[in-house]
Copies of this chain bind each other. A is one copy, B any other.
């Protein structure tokens, strides 16, 4: 295919992807589910599992291999801008304000699912095709542990915001614990990727480079962003030049962290955290959020769905393994977080609410799974099993949260 033919097809792909995500999203909304659930399921349907099984020729014509580089590059782009915005909204102050409870919930929210995940990997890996042959036993354990510990931090933040729980004890605690858990899981993933590269030098470059990146963002990026924020606030609005410069920095961070072998989303997220809260952060959000989430992000869900092959787990044994992993994911994350919150003095109801929120895996899980698949750490089989786990835990979150909080007064968001 020529570049021109690829670009023509890309328009059709986008039209189908955006249109279909809207349709499934509409159904999801009618069922009281958030947008992300609709998009996760839309991705699986457009992939080989449903569309590819029903109309293989049509599916192959719509998503030929030659179009993959464009789809992949644009979905990485969308993901990076999105993770930058997640970083922009990330508020480290929250963690400080509820340090003890947050630490307890987040440590339980890592240790329990991590231990269960690692144990499952250790026990299951010899018998089932979960990891590639190159993956060592402890790399598999670390990856499974990290994949189990993920929290859908942006989704949790959205639910808390939409219910008007932002300033409450419950909201603060869930946000703080969720963000610590995600940060920890990403660090473990970085270690797995670095180790997986085999060469110790590569691991040193990845970890050393990652630390250097954080340092550079802190020492140079943060003051620069502060200067840009002050200028933007003085002007009373975001100029094209300012937005372009900011996005150039995001791309530079994404490139660097990709290049050293951790991942573009880290670089973008960390730069986002360095953005000073206030007018500039809000202006960035205003100009980037809608187009990123409504236009670019659906591509990632579809890309992820193209990798999901439900057929791979359609056998009694493999479905059994899937259910086991799902059970461990819920027990490890939801139950452990709720228990920790309860032991730290939250009411049983609040504790359960925290457990249901922390349990959702959402988009974040899909990101970590796609990285694992792409680097050849996990097989398409384990990928598909954990996509099922991600979809189910995300689907559960809203009804479970509503059930736990039934009868509580509704608070309208600020």
Contact = CB atoms under 8 A, between A and B. Distances in A.
B76 A10 contact: yes
A377 B197 CA distance: 48
A73 B7 contact: yes
Given A7-B73, A11-B264, A68-B3, A18 B291 contact: no
Interface in A62-99: 68-70, 72-74, 76-77, 80
Contacts of A73: 3, 6-7, 10, 70, 74
Interface residues of A, number: 55
Given A14-B251, A26-B241, A241-B22, A69 B7 contact: yes
Nearest to A283: B290
A290 B69 contact: no
A227 interface: no
A279 interface: no
Contacts of A288: 291
A69 B22 contact: no
B15 A240 contact: no
B11 A251 contact: yes
B291 A77 contact: no
A11 B244 CA distance: 14
Interface string A38-80: 0000000000000000000000000000001110111011001
Contacts of A259: 8, 12
A25 interface: yes
B69 A18 contact: no
A3 B374 CA distance: 10
Given A11-B80, A290-B287, A291-B292, A245 B22 contact: yes
Contacts of A249: 15
Copies per complex?
2
A291 B80 contact: no
A148 interface: no
Contacts of A136: none
A252 interface: yes
Given A240-B294, A245-B18, A247-B295, A255 B12 contact: yes
B7 A247 contact: no
Interface string A230-252: 00000000101101110111011
23 contacts: A1-B69, A3-B68, A4-B374, A6-B73, A7-B76, A7-B258, A11-B80, A11-B254, A11-B255, A12-B255, A14-B77, A15-B248, A21-B244, A22-B244, A25-B244, A35-B241, A69-B70, A74-B74, A243-B294, A244-B294, A244-B295, A247-B295, A288-B291
Given A14-B77, A241-B294, 11 more contacts: A6-B73, A7-B69, A15-B249, A15-B251, A18-B245, A25-B244, A35-B240, A69-B70, A240-B290, A243-B295, A244-B294
